[in-house]
Each structure stands twice: as C-alpha cells, then as structure tokens.
Structure 1
C-alpha cells in the first residue's frame, strides 16, 4: 500500500527570507566596499548609541578606515582573520604609535559590530584582544612657560597666521582639534559668551563657555572673517594643522606635543587650581567621570590645603604654646 503524500504550502515571505539569508552568506564584500557603506550610512543617519541614532563627527572613522583599507585592499571583510589583524599591527608599529593603532582597531571593531547588528551580516570580529597593550595614562600638558613660548612662535608663523589663535582657543576651551577646525560662526553666541557643539565624539551636543582670552581670539578671527568657518584660509575650511603645529613646536623647543596636548593642558591647569573634576569633565564633554579622573593626581596641593584647614580647630588642644 502506497503511503499517502502530503503537500505543505510554505509562505512566500518565508521563502524570500531564506533565499535572502543564503545569498547574504554567500556574498563577499571587499574591505573598501565595506568601509564605504559604513561611512556613508553613519555619515547620513548617525551612529547607534544606546539604541538611538545620534549625529557624530566621523572624521576619525574616515581617517582610520582609509589606513585600514589601504592595507586590506586585497581582502574581503568576510575573510578577515586574527592573523590579518596581527599583520596590520606589526606593519603599523613601524610607522605610528600604539595609541594610534588602538584607535584604528577600535573603529574597525565598531564598524564590524555595526554591520552585524544593523545589516545582519555574518561576520566574526578579529580585532578582539588584538589591540596593543595600553600603558597607564600619562597625560602630557604644557607648563605656562612652554605655552607662552609656543604662542609667541606661532604668532609670527608666515604660512599659518591663524595658528596662535587656534592655540589660544584650544588651551582656553579644551576643545578637540576637529571640533575647532569644523567650527562655524553660527555656533558662536556672543550674548551667552559660549560655543554650541553639535557633532561631538560622544554624540551629545555640548555648550562650551568662553573666557576673555577665548573671546579675544574669536574677535581677532572675526576681524578677518571671509566665510562660514572660524578657521579657514582663501575661503576654504582648514583641513589640518599637523605640519604647521609640528614646525612651531620645533621652533619653540617643545617636545612630545600635539594639538591634543592643548586639551590636556586646559584640563590639567584647571585641576591644579582645584576646580571640580565633575565640572572639568562637563566642559570637556567626557562621557563619564572616570575619564576625567586621570587629572585627579594633579590636585594633591589642594587636598593638602583642605586637610590643613582643620588644624586651627585643634589649636591649644594638643599643641603646647611656646609663649
């Protein structure tokens, strides 16, 4: 006796989903294509933080992925392995610092995670535990004498006449290099004496208060204003200041100094003066207080002064007068 046969009707939606899933697993994407897709999407829609889309500055992502794409130009993202990433680390170590490599691998890891979560790509993340070990934080900041020399040399820099004003603003606001270079005049509120930053590293807008030195620098820049950006030359926004800044540091005899050192200088000087780490972190735009605590060791003099103030309460109680 022949066994009865049964026919089962499979929903067309399910068939399409299975076909798409199989196709997605078979499709290979070059590393360059993967980078372009990622940058195009986060540049338009923003990154996903805590389940929400936020607009962020993607200049760092672009720079890091450009370096990665050059090295992995013959690779598909699906076939990228831990050995490939290890080769990249060894290649880059002969050219840049470990901190730069960590940033580049962090961007790559975030991009891969994004493709997995947002696009449903079947990717492994070969950057896990591949970043060079990080040494305990040691933040370089300028002494007041170094800052004075740097500004004086920058003031007479023929090829970058705006550089000394950039340095003044950076030291007095703590803003990141790219936040300053992308700054437009519409973000400056003279009435409230502040700058409003929309695209930040954390993805959260923040307001930067301005002191008299910062207002002076903006006033000088405004006198020569010839477009929408605060820092521009020949009507175009300035892309980078690395070369001119390095040259001024050399002229001033200052070593181990980058534009980011100016941000650390701002925070360090405030910490030395005993200002609240919470308030310093808010002005800097830190995502949490733990990031700002790297400056806590600079407040030893203030802490000593704090506990010393209790001595007067015990005068004549334990200590005998010599009179």
Structure 2
C-alpha cells in the first residue's frame, strides 16, 4: 500500500492538516495538499492512496496566486528582455530581433491582458487558422514560433503547468512556396529602370547582388566593404553571411556586380568629399555616411510599378539567381551550395527547371507531332 501521511500543524485559529506522500519508485517525499478540516484531508488522502496504488502520480497542484498574476503580456515582456539580451550578445541579429517584435505585436493586441493560463490549445489553433486563411501559412508559422517561445517561458516561470503549444506542428508551406523568377532579358530591363530612379546610386547594385550572387535582403543590408576584396585575382572575391542559417559563403565577383561596386565606391567617396559627410560606418548598400540602411521598400516598389511588375518581391531576385543557375546547366547541388542553403531539400523547389532545361523525350514528342511518318521511319532505322 502507498505511503500517505497527514501531519497536523497548529495555527493561531484552529489547525492545518498537511498531506504528504512517498513516490513509489524513488521513495522521495512530496507535499500534496493542505486542508483546514480534518475530514477533507482524510478524504483526499484516501483518493491519493488509491491513485498511487494504481501506479499513477498526482498532477502538481496549481498555484492560483502565481497564475492569476501572470498575463500573456507580462510573460511576453520577459521574452522581449531575453531577446534583447541575446541581441547584445550577438546571438540574434538586429533584423531577427525586429522580426520577433513584429510577429509579437498582433499577439499582444489579442491577448495582452489575458491570464496566460486561460489560453487553451484550441484558442491557439483557431487563431492560427484565421491568420493562415486571411494572410498566409508563412505568417501563421512565424507567429506560432513566437507563441511557442512565450508559453515555454510561462512554464519556466511556473505561470502554467502544461504548455498548450506542445504538439502543435507548423503548417506546410510547400504549396505556397514562391517560385517567381526573371529571365536574363527581364533582369536587364529591371536594372535599366533602377538606374533611372532616385535610388540609382545603390538599387542597381542591390539587384545585381541578389540576381548574380543570391543575396537575401538581410545579407545585402549587412554587407560591408571589409567583406569585399576587389583586387583578388581578375574579378575579386566577396563574403556573405546569413544570420538566419548561420551559413557563410565566398563568391568570385561577377563582372557586372564588380563594375557596380566600383561605381558605388566612387560615388560615396565623391559625395563625402563634396558635402563633407563624416564617416560613420562601412556598409555597402547604406547611407552616404556608411551607416546601415534599414529598408528600401519604396525604392523597390517604385521600380516595379514603372515596369508594370506586380507581385514580385525583392526576395524573388534570390529565386531568380537559383533558377538561372539551373537554366544555365547547374544542378540542385550547385544551387544549394551557391545560395547557402543548409540542405538539398531547401533547393528542391527548383527541381522542375532541370526537366525544362533539357528533355530528350519532349523533343522527340515535338518531332513526332510535326511529322509522325518521319518519326516511325526513324524508329525503324534505329
């Protein structure tokens, strides 16, 4: 029979009855509950004894005072402090921190003052479904990522006993993967349009770095002149580091990109001398003083509108890079290594282009439709 004891403790008014038990396997003593009435304590002790005899352990009792004090917003603040600390330590990039805060904002709007222990798994699944339907699968997954961090922190702070996000898997984004890309002649038109706009001194370079070297926006905005060696060999080399995957890669600089880099360097030196602009940083696609640029959405949008291009994100230039690697005769492995993906599966979205590049059966089928008799004759001869 399981060992369950009731200890009587005197109080100023009356007595307290403390129930304790020994864990069957370890023999460790645990506190179970405290009652002011002996009859209630005895009833609870009998229930506990029966539960232990069945080989089960009681669930930890809820600390109602702690749970009532912890709202979703108060736990979120703890997460924000942790993210900021990690940012200072270099574990989170500025872009990643901004992303976390951006995904958290709508979550706070919905649950800021709600007691975290009252939010159920069904509530979270319903919210995710609404975001996926009204916005996108990707956004729903990003917000679920933040929710998982918040509820893990709530468990750590003992604000809740069980994590409602446990067991919730991320939605598949396979169907919604963006595969838009531009052929070389359209890239040329894009570059010409960018060279005419207000951002003509940096946007063509930004586009070239994306379509000729596969830079993400984060890599582009973080790129510094110290990452570039223009006098290495005939073309020079350039180093990229993507904080999202923590992958570093080194490329030989493409001719057009090298020309644009030299033009950018000359423009910066000229304007600093002409206007007496102080040197504050080393960023390539940054402000004239070298400080980091946070965005160039309006410049990109303006160029796309001038060409009548719709639903083409700047990140799609990265897809353009990978797609044209395949179309130029490269393999998925080449694309994976050159773009900085960690696994070959991440480059799988470009697999359909391998078939489009060269397909002997498709060529034979075209010949068959063009001249069926000649096709039959060719087969006999072979």
- After superposition, the C-alpha distances for 1:200-242 in whole angstroms (9 at most, x for unaligned) are 2112333344211222222222223363111122533211122
Contact 1:56 1:202 in 2 (8 A): no
User: Which one of 110, 113, 116 corresponds to residue 74 of structure 1?
Assistant: 113
**Alpha-carbon deviation of 1:134?**
5.1
Contact 2:79 2:150 in 1 (8 A): no
Deviates more, 1:190-199 or 1:227-236: 190-199
TM-score computed with the length of structure 2 as normaliser: 0.62
Match of 1:146 in 2: 186
Aligned residues: 288
Contact 2:131 2:137 in 1 (8 A): no
Distance 2:228 2:361 in 1: 38
Distance 2:338 2:64 in 1: 49
Structure 2: unaligned runs, 5 residues or longer = 1-6, 8-28, 31-61, 269-278, 364-378
- Pick closer, same or farther for the CA change 1:298–1:115 going to 2, 3 Å: same
Contact 1:56 1:201 in 2 (8 A): no
Considering Cα pairs closer than 8 Å and 6+ residues apart, tell me whether 1 or 2 has the greater RCO: 1
Distance 1:24 1:174 in 2: 53
**Alpha-carbon deviation of 1:244?**
2.0
Contact 1:56 1:199 in 2 (8 A): no
- In the alignment, structure 1 residue 126 sits paired with structure 2 residue 181: no
- After superposition, the C-alpha distances for 1:265-304 in whole angstroms (9 at most, x for unaligned) are 0000111112021121112111100111211110114443
Distance 2:188 2:79 in 1: 42
SS of residue in 1 equivalent to 2:299: helix
Deviates more, 1:171-180 or 1:225-234: 225-234
- In the alignment, structure 1 residue 28 sits paired with structure 2 residue 65: no
- Pick closer, same or farther for the CA change 1:131–1:295 going to 2, 3 Å: closer
**Alpha-carbon deviation of 1:156?**
1.3
What are the within-5 Å matches in structure 2 for residues 170-319 of structure 1?
Answer: 170-190=210-230, 191=232, 193-225=236-268, 227-235=281-289, 236-304=291-359
RMSD over aligned CA atoms reads 3.9
Deviates more, 1:61-70 or 1:150-159: 61-70
Contact 1:31 1:72 in 2 (8 A): no
Distance 2:64 2:225 in 1: 49
**Alpha-carbon deviation of 1:42?**
3.3
SS of residue in 2 equivalent to 1:196: strand
- After superposition, the C-alpha distances for 1:164-200 in whole angstroms (9 at most, x for unaligned) are 2211111111011111012121222332733323442
- Pick closer, same or farther for the CA change 1:46–1:182 going to 2, 3 Å: closer
- After superposition, the C-alpha distances for 1:97-125 in whole angstroms (9 at most, x for unaligned) are 3333333323443x348648988885514
- In the alignment, structure 1 residue 97 sits paired with structure 2 residue 136: yes
Distance 2:172 2:332 in 1: 29
What are the within-5 Å matches in structure 2 for residues 1-40 of structure 1?
Answer: 26=67, 28=70, 30-40=74-84
Structure 1: unaligned runs, 5 residues or longer = 6-13, 16-20, 48-53, 309-317
